Structure 1
Amino acid sequence: MDKTNQQVQISPVEDLMREHGLLHRILLIYKDIIDRMTVSDIYTPEPIYSCIRESTIIVKRFIIEYHQVLEQDYVFPILSQHEKYKQLIQILLTQHEAAKCATDEILTILGSELKRIKIYQKRLLQLMSEFIQMYEPHSAREDTVIFPAFHQLTPPDTFRALGEKFEDIEEQKFGENGFQNVLEHVTQIEKSLAIYDLNQFTLKCR
């Protein structure tokens, strides 16, 4: 990690929550694609399938194999020591496994030839929809219950050290500016689908 360019160290909670933000942008990509494929017949399969594939690879590498591992290795063990959080932690762990299972199945379908993907398109849309339905409440519960409790229950020195550790692990896995590079990839997918411009989502209030 290049600490000379980092004026303020990112806390472990901020790190995890911005990763949730990146994931939610992928969920918006999934939602847009589901709408295109179910509401409108005007879409070209190849580029749409490519967007799903690229987005899901990011989910696998950045969320499943990195973000969830941070939670399981450093966050959940602290909360599991307290009876109040044990049941919730178990549910979250079960959902982590479900996310991995769904992600692997999506990539398996997309690894087939185009003709076969079309055959399994209904299943593909179901997996994406169910992933959204699970991960929206999952991440919301972590942001509002798990992460605040993790902050409260972790000694200040340990909390600060974990912030640096998370950044170091991120750099080891994704290189310098790893998060920004992954975010830029998500941005490019958004632009290819014409959903990057935030203003297009502004409510038209009379």
Structure 2
Amino acid sequence: MGSNNELAGSSRQGQSRRVFLEWGFKAAIVPAVVGIGLSASCNNKEDEEDVTPPEDLMREHGVLNRVLLVYDHFLSMLSSGQSMDPGLLSAAAGIIRSFIEDYHEKQEEDYLFPRFEKAHQLTDLVTVLRQQHQAGRTITAQIMLLGKQPQISSEDDRRKLQGLLSSFNRMYRPHEAREDTVLFPALRKIVSKHEFDSLGEDFEKREHQLFGENGFETFVDKVSRIEQQLGIFELAQFTPRV
């Protein structure tokens, strides 16, 4: 009888010990798994927020394209004899000057073009792109000068502005398209992965220094407000009736 009690007690102790060990194992493994999951989630979030140098430059081209649309609308107003608000012209040209010319193009000139020239790759294209940057700055300076007037009413000024806007748009649409489809995709071929990643950090650092934490978003908002004032913000209006 005593032997049976001892066996039963031993069995209960063994069972309790197994339960304790299983519980301890689960208690240890669950936080570890959760921790791994949280870490992966955080890493995924960081990966999603990372923007590569070409993507960064292409997003900025999106801002440029929206100003080109604004310039298209100004051209339409000039052609139809409508009066223009010089303040909106100045605001649009100001986005080109501060965000595109003084920031975006400087990024290309300081970080991208020299690397292609050093690697002896696409040097003819880089030469033309540099020349077009300079031509664009000259045009922008003249547009901003016209935008300072209370009214753009004289026939000479309206004709001059029409020529400037047309020249700017005609140059920059193929300019940005060539960069997006030829220059930017070739960047990975001439720099190491480490250098490629460092470029992204350099771009972000300069953007924050010049415009704060939300520089890109700030300029998207600025061009959106101009579009709204001109009545060209709603995307649906550009859908053809077919």
Normalising by structure 2, report the TM-score. 0.77
Retained in 1: the 8 A contact 2:152–2:158?
no
Partner of 1:14: 55
Percent identity, aligned pairs only? Answer: 37
Q: Aligned residues, how many?
A: 197
Q: Which residue of 72, 78, 81 corresponds with 1:37?
A: 78
Partner of 2:160: 123
2:56 matches 1:24: no
Q: For residues 109 and 44 of structure 1, do their structure 2 counterparts lie closer, same or farther at Cα, with a shift above 3 Å needed?
A: closer
Retained in 2: the 8 A contact 1:25–1:186?
yes
Q: Which residue of 182, 189, 201 corresponds with 2:238?
A: 201
Q: Which residue of 183, 197, 218 corresponds with 1:181?
A: 218
What pairs up with 1:157-176 in 2 under 5 angstroms?
157-176=194-213
Q: Which residue of 89, 97, 104 corresponds with 1:67?
A: 104
Retained in 2: the 8 A contact 1:9–1:164?
no
2:125 matches 1:88: yes
Secondary structure at the aligned position of 2:122 is classed as: helix
The letter for the 2-side match of 1:170 is: E
Q: Which residue of 77, 88, 91 corresponds with 1:51?
A: 88
Larger RCO of the pair (alpha carbons < 8 Å, separation 6+): 1
How many Å separate the matches in 2 of 1:182 and 1:71? 19
Partner of 1:134: 171
User: Which segment is superposed worse, 148-157 or 22-31?
Assistant: 148-157
- Displacement, 1:113? 4.1
2:135 matches 1:98: yes
The letter for the 1-side match of 2:220 is: L
> Which of the two has higher C-alpha Rg?
2
1:96-117 deviation per Cα after TM superposition (whole angstroms, max 9, x unaligned): 0000100011111222343676
Secondary structure at the aligned position of 2:49 is classed as: coil
Retained in 2: the 8 A contact 1:34–1:125?
yes
Structure 2 alignment gaps of length 5 or more:
1-44
Retained in 2: the 8 A contact 1:13–1:151?
no
- Displacement, 1:151? 2.4
Partner of 2:181: 144
Q: For residues 117 and 77 of structure 1, do their structure 2 counterparts lie closer, same or farther at Cα, with a shift above 3 Å needed?
A: farther
Retained in 1: the 8 A contact 2:119–2:190?
no
- Displacement, 1:31? 0.2
Normalising by structure 1, report the TM-score. 0.90
How many Å separate the matches in 2 of 1:111 and 1:199? 33
